C-alpha cells in the first residue's frame, strides 16, 4: 500500500493531496529513510511524522484502503512510548508557555484604551478645532 493512502486512511491528513504535500516536503520517514508518496508500506514498518514542533514515531499495525471512523483508523498504528512521552512534554510546555499577546507593548488599542483616549481628548471641551472661537 502507498504511504500517502495509508496516512490518509489513518487520519493523519484530511486529504491524500495534503499527505502527498507533506511527504514531498520531507516530513515523513519510513524506517529511517525519507519517503516519496508512492513508497510502499507494510505492517511492522516504522513511520516518523513531523507536524509542526511535534514529531510522532509510529509502528504500522495494519493497512486499510478506505478511510474509516477514528477508532478503526487508530487501530492501524501504535505510537511508541518515547513518542508519547515527547508529545506529553511538548503539550505541557505549550500549556505553561506565556501568552504571546501579553508581551506586546504597543499595537492596536483595546476598547478600554480607545475609551480612555476619547475621555482625555475631551479636555478641549466641545470644540471641534484648536482655534479660538469668538
In this structure, which topology does domain 3-95 adopt according to CATH?
3.10.290
- Kindly list the distances between the CA atom of residue 71 and the CA atoms of 1, 32, 85, 97, 124, in Å, as whole numbers in the listed order: 20, 27, 22, 32, 67
**pLDDT, tens digit, for every residue of 9-49?**
999 999 999 999 999 999 999 999 999 999 999 999 999 99
The cell for 14 is: 484530511
Q: What is the pLDDT of residues 107-126, one digit of tens each?
A: 787 888 888 887 776 655 55
**How many other β-carbons are positioned within 10 Å of the β-carbon of residue 107?**
7
Domain residues of the chain, as ranges?
3-95
pTM: 0.69
Amino acid at each position: 500500500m502507498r504511504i500517502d493512502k495509508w496516512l490518509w486512511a489513518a487520519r493523519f491528513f484530511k486529504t491524500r493531496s495534503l499527505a502527498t504535500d507533506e511527504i514531498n516536503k520531507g516530513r515523513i520517514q519510513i524506517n529511517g529513510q525519507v519517503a516519496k508518496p508512492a513508497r510502499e508500506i507494510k505492517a511492522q514498518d516504522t513511520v516518523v511524522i513531523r507536524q509542526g514542533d511535534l514529531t510522532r514515531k509510529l509502528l504500522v499495525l495494519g493497512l486499510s484502503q478506505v478511510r474509516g471512523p477514528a477508532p478503526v483508523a487508530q487501530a492501524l498504528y501504535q505510537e511508541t512510548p518515547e513518542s508519547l512521552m515527547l508529545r506529553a512534554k511538548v503539550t505541557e510546555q505549550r500549556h505553561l508557555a506565556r501568552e504571546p499577546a501579553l508581551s506586546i507593548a504597543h499595537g492596536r488599542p483595546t476598547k478600554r484604551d480607545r475609551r480612555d483616549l476619547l475621555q482625555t481628548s475631551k479636555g478641549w471641551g466641545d470644540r471641534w478645532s484648536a482655534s479660538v472661537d469668538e
